[in-house]
A and B are shown apart, each in its own frame.
Chain A
Amino acid sequence: MIIDHPLLGPRDAAEFVYLGDASLIDRPDWQAPDAMEKFHAYGYLRDNPAGEHQELWYHEQGDRSWLVVTRDTVTHTITKVELARDVARGKTKARGRGK
């Protein structure tokens, strides 16, 4: 698989380390009353879809950036690669607007 890094261009997936579902960016609030259930779901339960999947890859043998890769788990086709930083910032902004 080739991952088209937003800063470095196309790189071999072997340079990266895979973490898992990109929902791991959304860490639950530890002070919430249902934090126990939330952290159980966050730490252990996965959607595990067959098809489009957003996931975190770490460019360990490169620029050490975290990426959010959108990839099809049935065909291995990669359709979108973003810096995880940008994705996380986008989410914070969206939350800010909701308040």
Chain B
Amino acid sequence: MRYSGFRVLKEGLTGNKGWTKAWREPEPRPDYDIVIIGGGGHGLSTAFYLAKEFGITNVAVLEKGWLGSGNIGRNTTIIRSNYMLPGNEPFYEFSMKLWENLEQETNYNSMVSQRSILNLYHTDGQRDAYVRRANAMLLAGADAELADAKQLRQELPFLDYDNARFPIKGGLYQRRGGTARHDAVAWGYARGADSRGVDIIQNCEVTGFQIENGTCTGVETSRGAIRAKKVAMCVAGSSGRVAAMAGMRLPIESHVLQAFVSEGLKPVLPGVITFGAGHFYVSQSDKGGLVFGGDIDGYNSYAQRGNLPVVEDVCEGGMAIMPMIGRARLLRSWGGVMDMSMDGSPFIDKTHIDGLYFNGGWCYGGFKATPASGFCYAHLLAKDEPHPTATQMRLDRFMTGNMIDEKGSGNQPNLH
């Protein structure tokens, strides 16, 4: 069924009786060309692009819980491509271009809203770093714009420009950045993949790999064994656990990241704003809640909840740039488990086992990467060679010395 304004109108006038289910609930078949482990944003977008771009539809997506129950359902929904390094920026800009066409491609309202993202700077040194980053962005075909405090005072009068400790001197805008409706991204990809013949199998947990003579030939699951020519891990957050079943040790630690939402308010924030002197980012959802977050808790964790010191730290960051936030009440907070990699950048690569592929290590930047991650992973799975924008996201880059360390903080995952 194709969704359109006309369809909404027609169904509205005929009692909404014509709507069909957005995707099927198939039983797993005994073998597939490709089995994708993980029915989150990245797994579903991989399946979607495999079917749409590369014509491979004999594919199953295995999800241990319900579709989109992991980090695609618990992030702060920001999309942007304001990176600097050559291994990263072209990839994220590719993702941005896919975001801009996502709704037309999937025929699903993902509420992609290019409401801009602004990174504030507070010192001369930070301004210079942002100028450099803006130039790197422009070179990769993205948009970037430097704004001084005078311009910002006009556009965002509520910020605390004269804060004694962290005065706001200006910011780096990416006007094409913004937010998207996170769940709808998963649902749109799921519906698009399913309608092209991909089997999305929920409540099907992978419990082991079938590996014969260094070749992966399938998986064991809670719903029986499934053979596959290629098996694709796509379980950021649980990568350590799943890879351990294949006997792999990864350059990844699992950490918990908390996010927060305030009570619903009248529109106050036009776009996404981030603090430059601490770690704090905030946007306002279409329902009115201020959605914000900050640092990870900083210790290995698989628990989807964090501790209070970080709650305090994040709220202090918010108070430092917009004291008005202190009047809002916190409605909810929650935690998600992140694959924190050793250089803060992700992996889309083959493994040392033939037929077994790996996608993970997204740190806390996986949501914005959802379209390109799926596209590039599908490219790798279909052609056995990396997509041109993802050639450096290799698992062996620490051995070869080709790290993509955007922040320059070394092999300490809790500092990225």
Contact = CB atoms under 8 A, between A and B. Distances in A.
Interface of A: 1, 12-14, 18-21, 40-41, 43-50, 53, 55, 71, 73-76
Please list the 4 inter-chain residue pairs (A to B) with the smallest Cβ-Cβ separation, ordered nearest first.
A48-B240, A14-B309, A44-B398, A45-B249
Contact of B303 (A19, A21, A48, A76): A76
Counting chain A CB atoms within 10 Å of each CB, which of B238, B249, B254, B300 scores highest? Answer: B300
A41 B249 contact: yes
Counting chain B CB atoms within 10 Å of each CB, which of A43, A48, A74 scores highest? Answer: A48
A46 to B, nearest CB: 5
Nearest to B307: A1
Interface in B206-243: 238, 240-241
Given A55-B300, A74-B302, A50 B240 contact: yes
B382 interface: no
Interface stretch (B84-92, B162-170, B319-327, B408-416): B408-416
A18 B249 contact: no
A47 B253 CA distance: 8
Interface of B: 238, 240-241, 244, 249-254, 298-303, 307, 309, 342, 398-399, 411-414
A18 B398 contact: no
Nearest to B239: A48
A34 to B, nearest CB: 13
Given A13-B307, A44-B398, A48-B254, 14 more contacts: A1-B307, A20-B300, A20-B412, A20-B413, A21-B253, A41-B249, A45-B249, A46-B250, A47-B244, A50-B240, A50-B254, A53-B300, A73-B302, A74-B302
A13 B303 contact: no
A43 B343 CA distance: 12
A36 to B, nearest CB: 8
Given A40-B399, A43-B398, A46-B240, A55 B299 contact: yes
Contact of B250 (A13, A48, A55): A48
A55 B254 CA distance: 13
B309 A13 contact: yes
12 contacts: A1-B307, A20-B414, A41-B249, A44-B251, A45-B251, A47-B244, A47-B249, A48-B254, A53-B300, A73-B302, A76-B303, A76-B307
Nearest to A45: B249
A75 B298 contact: no
A12 to B, nearest CB: 8
Main secondary structure of the interface of B (DSSP, over half): mixed
Given A45-B249, A46-B240, A46-B251, A73 B309 contact: no
A74 B309 CA distance: 19
Given A44-B251, A55-B300, A74-B303, A50 B411 contact: no
B20 to A, nearest CB: 39
B89 to A, nearest CB: 23
Contact of A45 (B241, B250, B309): B250
Contacts of A47: 240, 244, 249
Contacts of A76: 301, 303, 307
Contacts of A53: 300
Given A14-B309, A18-B298, A73 B254 contact: yes
B303 A18 contact: no
Given A41-B249, A43-B398, A46-B249, A75 B303 contact: yes
Contacts of A1: 307
Contact of B241 (A50, A71, A75): A50
Nearest to B305: A76
Nearest to B304: A74
A32 B412 CA distance: 25
A59 B252 CA distance: 24
A53 B253 CA distance: 12
Contact of A73 (B303, B307, B342): B303
B302 A18 contact: no
Counting chain B CB atoms within 10 Å of each CB, which of A1, A18, A20, A73 scores highest? Answer: A73
Contacts of A19: 412
Contact of B253 (A14, A40, A48, A71): A48
A49 B240 contact: yes
Contacts of A48: 240, 244, 249-250, 252-254, 300
Nearest to A51: B302
Given A13-B307, A40-B399, A50-B254, A73 B301 contact: yes
